Structure formats: C-alpha cells, structure tokens
Amino acid sequence: MTRNTQKVLAWSATIPSAIVTAACISLLVGGFVDDCRRAPLDKERLAALEKSAKQDSAQNPVLEAEQKRQMEDSLERAAATTLDSYVLIAAAMLFLVGAKGIIVLAPRRVPDFGIVTAQRTGPGGHRGKRRRKRQASTPVSHTCRCSDNGPIDLETVDRIVDERGRTAAAVIPILQSVQAQFRYLPEEALERICERTEITPARIAGVSSFYTQFRRTPVGEHLIRVCHGTACHVAGAEAISNEIRRELKIAPGTDTDPLRQFTVENVACMGCCTLAPVMQIDETTYGHCTTESVPDALDDSLQAGKGEAAQSENTRVASAVRGGNGQSAGEIRIGLGSCCVAGGSGKVYKALEEAVASIGARATIKRVGCVGMCHQTPLVEVRLPDQPAKLYAG
C-alpha cells in the first residue's frame, strides 16, 4: 500500500467520523435540553391529575394513563441516549485513528539536532532554561551524506529502521544499531530516523543524552579505555589518563586527538584489579601501566593494526599442531582470563602457536580460563605424558 493510498484512507475515515461525531453530540445536547424543558411540565401535569383523582375517583384512569405515558417516554429517551452515546464513542475513536494517521503521514520537517540538544542542556551538560529558535532545514533527498567522520550511508539507516520498527518505543534499539554501524550517532542518520519513524527529535535528544553508551561525536580509529575502578584509581589511573591525553595532544573537554587516531574514555572496572592500573586499546589489555609505558602501548596499537590483536588474543580457538604419526606428545596450557590477557598472555599464546608450527612439534596448545595466580601472569603450564606438570611464570 502506497503512502498516497494510506493518506486517502486516513482522510476517508476522518471526515465521515467527524460528521457523525458532531451529529451525535447535537442529538445528545438537544435531548438533554428537551428533557430539561419537559420535566417541569410533566411534573406539573402529573401533580394536577393526582389532585383531581383525590377529589374525584373517576379521574384515576386518566392519572394512570398519564403515568404510563410519561414512563414510556422516559424509557424511549433513555434508549435513544444510550444508542447515541455508543455511536458517538465509535465515531470519536474512528476520528482519532484517522487523525493520527494523517499526522503520521504528513510531511515532517528535518530537525536540527544541535539546536534540540542545546535547548535541552545548558553549559556542562546540565539542563538549562535557555531556548533558541529552531532553524528550518531541507529534507533529506540523497542516499548518502557526508559528515566529519566520512560519508554516511543512509540506506544502512533505512535498513536498520525496517528491522527495528518505526514506533517511538524502538528508539533505543535503533540508536544502538546505528552506533554499532557508525561507532557514533551521526546527525544525518538521526534526521533520517525522524523522517521515517514516529520518533521525534526531542525523544532522540533525550535518550542519547541520558544514556552514556551513546556518542554524538565521531570516534577515533582506536578506542582507549582506562580503568578508573577503585584498585586502578588508587594505583594511579588518573596519571595514566593524563599522560595519554598529553601524549596524544587531546584538548581539554574533548576525548579524541586532532588526527582522530585515538579516542580515550574512562570505564568503571575491567576485572583485572590485581594488575592495576589497567587500560585497554581496542581489544588489547595492558596491565601494570605506568606513565613511561603509555607511549609504547600507543605505538604497539598502531603497528598491530586495528582488530588484529583482538583476533589473535580473544577470538582464536584452541589449536593443535601435530607431526609425525599425528599423535600429540604433550600439552601446553596458557590462561587467557582477563588478568592473563592484561599480563601479556595473549602475545605468549600467539608466539607459542607460531613456534610450534615452525618447528613442527607434536604438541597441543590449549587455552584455559583463570589460573588463580594473577600476580604471576603470563603463566604457562606444560604437561608431558607420565611426567609432573611444569609451570613457567612471567
């Protein structure tokens, strides 16, 4: 069903229902006025007949007939009023449905999200009372828009809307999907959402500013998370954050360097308290950080390439390299829990794989969970047949 057909149906339901609603209201008001006018007359007539019947018993049949007539008239008016009320309710509901359809299908002005956010928040992110006049903007007509972080594919936004829904209740899933796609919430994408859904600019501004998971500014190529939990805070997390900002020349009040290579943010806890202070660049975790080790960690992330560390340390499954008759001569176990990864176990795991493969050793490399000795990571356990296990700690 096309949009024009939907508009015709909405108008077809709204206009007749409005006429019926007005007619029912007129009937109800007219009936009420008529009842108010007739009630004193009927009461006066009935009182006169009762007085006559007391003086002359021959007037009793006339009194009974008048009582019967007034009762029948009262029942008829009550039935008519009930019917008119039901028709009024039905017509009013149909009118509201049609009117809502007309409003939803009406052309919508593209919002200026910068102004909406400024209206909702004052300096420092707090809600303020200042109001600014919203500027009109041109409706989006292209499938691609350019932003500070590169072109925005609006077809991707359309696909997200089709998948998540068009009602106001879908605002959070839609924003989550948009941020997962673009790594932040581009204004061009938000304008497109308002064009194609029932979500208002004020609703988006409220949700995106309330939940800290949403970003309204572009993010750098690499994301740095500095743990500021209790243990890391005591161990000097603030100094680590300051050193990162100084090294990357990040201006006060911002979180991204001028080259947009890195974005830094504080997080509550990474679960590596024994290795505090801890920071994470993309998917690589660094423990026992110092201000002197920050430059090396930044260089390491640039050399490794985006996502390469994540694949080698977190998404690779246990592998087995066998030679000769295909039977494993032993097993090498390495813990890859959060503290282990922060201590460098991921790099050791990768080096072991490469070493075993290069020499063709008949050994199985197995990744395990927490080893229970976080302060000794990276920790490697070697198990050979008929021999006690040997531990090698970093």
pLDDT of residue 88: 80
Residue ranges with strand state E in 66-221: 144-147, 150-153
Asked if omega into 385 is within 30° of 0 (cis), the reply is no
**Span 317-393 CATH architecture:** 3-Layer(aba) Sandwich (3.40)
Residue with tokens 């106001």: 168
Residue 213 CB neighbours (<10 A): 9
Both structure tokens of 274? 């024994």
Please indicate, yes or no, whether the overall pTM of this predicted structure exceeds 0.85. no
Least confident range from 38-52, 93-107, 188-202, 342-356: namely 93-107
Is residue 238 scored above 90 in pLDDT?
Answer: yes
Mean pLDDT of 330-351: 76
CA atoms within 13 A on the CB side of 45: 13
**146 pLDDT higher than 90:** no
Residue ranges with strand state E in 291-345: 319-321, 330-335
- Cα–Cα distance, 180 to 309 (Å, whole number): 20
Cβ atoms within 10 Å of 150's Cβ, excluding its own: 10
Instruction: Identify the DSSP state of 256.
Output: B
pLDDT surpassing 60 at residue 194: yes
If one compares 234 and 97, the residue with the highest pLDDT of the two is 234
Distance CA 79, CA 333 (A): 86
Share of the chain above pLDDT 90, in %: 9
Same fold, 222-311 and 317-393: yes
Structure tokens at 319: 């592998």
- Predicted confidence at residue 175, as pLDDT, reads 92
Note the Cα 227 to chain centre separation in Å: 24
- pLDDT, residue 328, reads 58
Highest mean predicted confidence (pLDDT) among 209-213, 316-320, 352-356: 209-213
Q: Does domain 222-311 have CATH number 3.40.30.10?
A: yes
Report whether the peptide linkage leading into residue 378 is cis, meaning its omega lies within 30 degrees of zero. yes
Q: What amino acid occupies position 327?
A: Q
Contact at 8 Å (CB) between 266 and 212? Answer: no
Contact 287, 275 (CB under 8 A): yes
Average pLDDT over residues 18-28: 83
Q: Looking at 134-148, 246-260, 279-293, 346-360, which range is the least confident one?
A: 134-148
**Residues facing 284 on adjacent strands:** 281
Spatial CA neighbour of 336 closest among 306, 394, 378, 365: 378
Q: Is residue 144 within 8 Å of residue 151, measured between CB atoms?
A: yes
Could you read off the pLDDT of 110-121 as tens digits, one per residue?
455 555 555 544
How far from each other are the two terminal CA atoms of the chain, in whole angstroms?
67
- Strand arrangement, sheet containing 390-393: 319-321, 363-368, 330-335, 379-383, 390-393
What are the residue ranges spanned by the domains of the chain?
3-105, 118-129+141-210, 222-311, 317-393
- Coil, strand or helix at 361: coil
**How are beta strands 222-227 and 262-267 bridged, if at all?**
parallel
Q: pLDDT tens digits for 279-334?
A: 988 888 888 899 998 998 888 888 876 445 444 443 333 333 333 444 556 788 78
**Coil/strand/helix, residue 18:** helix
